[in-house]
Amino acid sequence: MTAMNNQPGNQDVRLASRKLALDRQNAKLGGVCAGIANWLGTDPLLVRLGFVIGTVAGLGSLILVYLVIWFVGALAE
């Protein structure tokens, strides 16, 4: 029985069954990073740091990505 839980496709099914949504309760700005962290099952601080580092390294391009996710997430609510 436990061998079935260790099959490679099971994690994909769990990730696909979770909904990516804004997390307004743990939000610092729009809830985008907190929502991504919930979806990935990780700490929101790590996602926020990733966005900051990515924004600096990408010369601000992640700011546009963040705003688009925030806008689309707000429309979906």
Domain spans in the chain, listed from the N-terminal domain onward: 2-76
Per-residue pLDDT for 12 more than 90?
A: no
pLDDT digits (tens, 9 = 90+) for 31-70: 999 999 999 999 999 999 999 999 999 888 899 999 999 9
- Cα 51 from Cα 33, distance rounded (Å): 8
Q: Whole-prediction pTM value?
A: 0.75
DSSP tag of 6? T
Q: How far is CA 10 from CA 13, 14, 61, in A?
A: 5, 6, 34
DSSP result, 33-63: HHHHHHHHTS-HHHHHHHHHHHHHHTTTHHH
* Percent of the chain topping pLDDT 90: 66
